[in-house]
Amino acid sequence: MRHILPMSIGLAVVIGAAACGGGAPPTPLGPDPDSLAAAQAEAQQVRDSIAREQAIRDSLARERQRIQAEQDRQRADSLNVIREETNRVRQALAVRVNFDFDRSNVRPGDAAVLDRKLAILQANPNLRIQVTGHCDERGSDEYNLALGNRRALAAKRYLTDRGIAESRITTSSMGEERPLATGSNEAAWGQNRRDEFSITSGGDRLTMPGM
């Protein structure tokens, strides 16, 4: 019995040593190639999807910019047309009418000028104007102021008799104080005997009537 026990202990020590690390270590497991490829493919799909979405957003942004630029251009063109038309109307309104010496009646040739102003006033109901009468240098200051006033009233009456409200037209007289032409001759006097027309309100955007 004394010989068997030590042998048993030695055998147990050998077996335990083998179990505790003796022999070759186990082979470690590496990544699965198929799983790695699948993950990479999925990541690429995500990147491709993001890129497509970004491309769509960029395309939409460019289209919005194009539309905005076109709208801005159209607005600018429209404003230019409005400004040009308004300037034409202003020029038509500024055309003067003239009078014979010591007369305040509208001459037949100048009636056509007033008819164009009449059409403009009808086409632009918010437009208001002032008519200012002028005279040549002959006659006294008092007489010429009164004559200039009669000339302004003659143009106003021509327009109001054809339907324009009196409140839309004011009148004034400068007499001989603001000659258009210098000189003491009929060429200068004929230009100075006149009515001038100016806009007092409603002239920011004007429509040229069809004539």
- Contact assessment for residue 173 and residue 145, using Cβ atoms and an 8 Å cutoff: yes
What is the pTM assigned to this prediction? 0.67
DSSP state of 132: E
- Contact assessment for residue 206 and residue 120, using Cβ atoms and an 8 Å cutoff: yes
Rg (the chain; Cα; Å): 50
Residue 10 has a pLDDT of 47
Residue 103 has a pLDDT of 97
Residue 6 has a pLDDT of 47
Q: In what order do the strands lie in the sheet with 128-134?
A: 97-98, 194-201, 128-134, 169-175
**pLDDT, tens digit (0-9, with 9 covering 90-100), for 137-189:** 999 999 999 999 999 999 999 999 999 999 999 999 999 999 999 999 999 99
Phi first, then psi: what are they for 195, rounded to 5°? -115, 135
Question: What distance in Å separates the CA atoms of residue 131 and residue 194, rounded to the nearest whole number?
Answer: 10
Angle, helices 108-123/33-94, rounded to nearest 10 degrees: 150
- Structural domains of the chain ordered from first start: 86-201 (3.30.1330.60)
139 backbone φψ class: left, alpha, beta (φ>0; ψ -120 to 50): left
Segments of the chain scoring below 70 in pLDDT: 1-31, 77-79, 211
Residues in the chain: 211
Residue 97, beta-bridge partner list: 195
Residue 75 has a pLDDT of 72
- Number of CB atoms found within 10 A of residue 90's CB: 15
Residue 27 has a pLDDT of 58
